[in-house]
Amino acid sequence: MKCPYCGYRTDKVVDSREAEDGTVIRRRRECMGCGKRFTTYEHIENVPLFVVKRDGRRELFDRNKILNGIVKACEKRPVSVEEIESLVDKIEQEIRAETDGEVSSQEIGEKVMRYLSKLDDVAYVRFASVYRQFKDVKEFMEELQQLISQSQKKRGGKR
């Protein structure tokens, strides 16, 4: 690390601490040339993540788009802000762990639906109705029937 005061290239780390919830390391350094101290910050380098849209376009991943979609789906439902934030965090972590820089918008939508189906049935149906772009009521009813069937299996077939 080059000293910002004298340009000398050798220093020693005097102190290291986590910052910003453990995503950054703050280091106090002392120049071996002039003896002055300075601070550096070490960040994890995030590889840019691109979303491949249905029409083939690519755009930078934006977690706020997922957040906004889930917030709309959960509107007036008993789902807390913390649950929504946690859901978005899980989805983003899963995507970054599974991909090498590109993910399709369909994969993202399917992940959101999978998590929403566990969180709130109404929010799931709301999101699915927009995401799946149902052509008619029949397709929508088929989705509802699947949801009802899954819900009954969870409860052991009881109504």
How confident is the model over 60-70, as pLDDT tens digits?
A: 999 999 999 99
DSSP state letter for 77: S
Does a structural domain hold residue 5? no
Give the chain's domain count: 2
Asked if the model's pLDDT at residue 102 lies above 90, the reply is yes
Mean pLDDT of the region 23-41: 93
Q: Do 15 and 75 sit in the same domain of this protein?
A: no
Specify the pLDDT at position 24. 86
Range of the domain at 95: 50-154
Asked if the model's pLDDT at residue 2 lies above 90, the reply is yes
Q: Do 18 and 84 sit in the same domain of this protein?
A: no
Does a structural domain hold residue 1? no
Q: Do 64 and 93 sit in the same domain of this protein?
A: yes
User: pLDDT (tens digit, 9 = 90+) per residue, 105-150?
Assistant: 999 999 998 999 889 888 988 888 777 766 667 777 777 777 777 7
Does a structural domain hold residue 108? yes
Q: Do 114 and 39 sit in the same domain of this protein?
A: no
Does a structural domain hold residue 3? no
Long-range Cβ contacts of 50-59 (<8 Å, 24+ apart):
50/101, 50/102, 50/103, 51/102, 51/103, 51/104, 51/105, 51/108, 52/102, 52/103, 52/104, 52/105, 53/105, 54/105, 54/106, 58/102
Q: Do 135 and 89 sit in the same domain of this protein?
A: yes
Specify the pLDDT at position 39. 93
Answer whether 140's CB lies under 8 Å from 129's CB. Answer: yes
Q: How many residues would you count in the chain?
A: 159
